[in-house]
Structure 1
């Protein structure tokens, strides 16, 4: 049996990020409902499911016996929620185009800037999986 990849600072940070986000999904689902792509049904249920998945991944990343599987699962969750980040950016872009104010444009720019940040998180999850 292969030894688990080490719990590095970046993996611990990913676990913290996933746990925090997962808790917010469950406590304040309305924060995330608007991000769910418009074509998907049962937005509240999807928010709850993704929150539970994030918490489970976070817990799994912290334990050596489950770190490998949790790394793969974390990467999958991060890829699965990426369309929600894109939806958020599209919605902010539309709002900025409609309003044209500096605040809306800055908010849109922030959502665009956030998109590429998802990929280092996926890489960290894959390192936790031993890849």
Structure 2
């Protein structure tokens, strides 16, 4: 039951994030590392990936499709981590410290947790069974 609830929570999170990427790309463009080619296209396709992953994660028809969506979202979270790190560095370089450590440090720790959560709710990780 907990896994299913968290699957829906994560899917809603990614769905909303994907919509925001598509509707308001400007904030994401400002944190994009300079070495990323075609940043507008990257933001667009990351939004599409988030929405597709969210839908795949909660569709009821195929466990394999849910697992593929979970792996996709986990890889997505790994791939956008450089933008989060870049945002951290840019913010901390501001005279006022931007959003500050209270925002950025938990965000850095949240990224691996989100990766793990996607894999767990997508049933991609080995499950422990209770022994009698």
Q: Please give the TM-score of this superposition, normalised by the length of structure 2.
A: 0.83
Q: Does structure 1 residue 45 correspond to structure 2 residue 38?
A: no
Contact 1:7 1:62 in 2 (8 A): no
Which string of whole-angstrom CA distances, capped at 9 and with x for unpartnered residues, describes residues 82-122 of structure 1?
Answer: 11100100100111xxx1x4xx36x1211232111111111
Structure 1: give runs of 5+ residues left out of the alignment: 1-5
SS of corresponding position for 2:37: coil
Q: CA RMSD in A?
A: 1.6
Structure 2: give runs of 5+ residues left out of the alignment: 126-132
Structure 2 vs 1, CA of residues 35 and 84 (structure 1 numbering), >3 Å: closer, same or farther? same
Q: Does structure 1 residue 29 correspond to structure 2 residue 25?
A: yes
Alignment partner, residue 130 of structure 1: 124
Higher helix proportion (structure 1 or 2): 1
Alignment partner, residue 89 of structure 1: 88
* Number of positions where the alignment pairs a residue of Structure 1 with one of Structure 2: 119
Q: Please give the TM-score of this superposition, normalised by the length of structure 1.
A: 0.84
Contact 1:72 1:129 in 2 (8 A): no
Runs of at least 4 residues off by over 4 Å: none
1: CA distance, partners of 2:46 / 2:9:
19
Alignment partner, residue 128 of structure 2: none
Alignment partner, residue 121 of structure 1: 114
2: CA distance, partners of 1:41 / 1:54:
20
2: CA distance, partners of 1:81 / 1:40:
11
Which string of whole-angstrom CA distances, capped at 9 and with x for unpartnered residues, describes residues 46-68 of structure 1?
Answer: 10011100000000001131211
